[in-house]
Amino acid sequence: MFDVLFSHILEKVSLTEEEKSLLKSFFVAKSLRKKEFLLREGEICHSLSFVSKGLLRSYHIDEKGDEHMNLFAWEGWWSSDIYSFSFNEIGQFNIDALEDSELLLITRENLEEMTLQIPKMDRYFRILFQNSLATKERRLVSSNSYTAKEKYIQLAESNPQMIQRVPQNLIASYLGLAPETLSRIKKNIALGK
């Protein structure tokens, strides 16, 4: 169960066997059936969740009731309402499962304790957050600078797995588009623009 997590961590920092078993003690496993919720808007997010199997989505619902996808997380990715988690404030994201999923959860308190006992884990998360920030920054520029079609093409090139695995109407929402718009864009591309 920890295999996926360890191999992910070992890409960034080394771990001894003792550290590995110590590390395990800070996590709790959780299973989620398709459509089950991990977190709801308005709650405080107390854990970071690592996906060892399955697929989660995090999204915001606006006053009109429209959903806006924030991110998708499958094997090897983390998911949480990072704002709520970081500042211990009420969050604006829902997280639920698009497929039956297996998760490993670590609470704010356990993260604190774990990084004190295994300082290397600060480095792991430093690199993780640094990379996520870099990616998010690019996405934000893309969102403000390009046309709907350009955004879709960029996504398809930079993240083909997401296109394969996530339903099209959710991809549309992720890109800030109406589902009809994405449908038409794909048609145009298929017709050779």
Partner DNA sequence: ACTGCCCGTTGATCTGGATCAAGTAATACA
Partner DNA sequence: TGTATTACTTGATCCAGATCAACGGGCAGT
CA distance 24 to 78: 16
Does 132 bind DNA (CB under 7 A)? Our answer is no
Does 134 bind a second copy (CB under 8 A)? Our answer is yes
Closest C-alpha among 33, 8, 9 to residue 102? 33
Size of the site for a second copy (CB under 8 A): 36
Least Cβ distance, residue 51 to DNA (angstroms) = 19
Amino acid identity of 151? K
Amino acid identity of 131? N
Is residue 189 helix, strand or coil? Answer: helix
With vertex at residue 41, the alpha carbon angle to CA 40 and CA 46, rounded to the nearest 5 degrees, is 65
Which of residues 147, 157, 161, 192 is near DNA by CB under 7 A?
147
CA distance 156 to 64: 29
Does 115 bind a second copy (CB under 8 A)? Our answer is yes
Does 6 bind a second copy (CB under 8 A)? Our answer is no
Q: Which of a second copy, DNA, none does residue 181 bind (CB under 5 to 8 Å by kind)?
A: DNA
CA distance 163 to 157: 10
Does 177 bind DNA (CB under 7 A)? Our answer is yes
Does 149 bind DNA (CB under 7 A)? Our answer is yes
Q: Which of a second copy, DNA, none does residue 115 bind (CB under 5 to 8 Å by kind)?
A: a second copy
Task: Select 46 or 186, whichever has its Cβ closest to DNA.
Answer: 186
Bridge partner list, 88:
none
Residues that bind a second copy (CB under 8 A): 60, 62, 66, 68, 70, 82-83, 85-87, 92, 115, 119-120, 122-123, 125-126, 129-141, 143-146, 176
Residues that bind DNA (CB under 7 A): 66, 147-149, 167-170, 176-184, 186-187
